[in-house]
Structure 1
Amino acid sequence: MFPKDVLTDKEDYKLVVHMIESILYDFLPNEVPYNLEVEMEYYEVSQEGSIHIVVLIHCDTPRIEKLVMGKKGSRIKNIAKKCEQHLRNLFLTDVFLKMVVTDKPKYSVKHMADGHSQ
């Protein structure tokens, strides 16, 4: 049995990946989320208690990459903002999230968005 103050036995980085995947299902049409791979690139808790995260979103094809990005990166920015809000509520601290959209076969960084950019 777990202590009363323990809500889950999952590691924080796994919670982050699962939450991001669930938000991708909400924001993206049809089969698109199933053609993505979410990978934790960086996770650090600062001395002040804030959490800094970089997540890679690997896309199978350029078409999927364009759908994830949206016009002028608007869709990925909205996704990043929503993810950041959910993570703040989950961890009860400031969270700074960068989502990097990559072309899966090449693993080359293509586009970045964070939840607090304008």
Structure 2
Amino acid sequence: MSCGDPHDTECGEVLDHLYEFLDNEMNEGDCVKLRVHFEECSPCLEKYGLEQAIKALIKRSCGCDDTPADLRGKVLARIDSIRSAQRRAEPVGVTEPLVATEASAAE
């Protein structure tokens, strides 16, 4: 996505890192770049606001449910795998489903 206007940080780069920004997983320098972009770019600011609202709704709706430890471990391992592959610029494939099946739930 691009709004068509020139920016120091491209819209695509901002949107690629939007969840890291929302989850406070970025260093302060990168956060500043995104904040500046949001001040200049209303389409990206709108997308940020929408994602922020969705995140708040999910937290409010699902915040009291405990995540099974094995599912949490699989999700975190998958995130690490994807991030490692991105650093190496390798394609990432799904190797194992993250959703617990009835057989694994019974264990």
TM-score of the aligned structures, taking structure 1 as reference length: 0.26
Question: Would you tell me which structure has more strand in proportion to its own residues?
Answer: 1
Structure number with the bigger relative contact order (C-alpha 8 A, sep ≥ 6) is 1
Q: Which has the larger radius of gyration?
A: 2
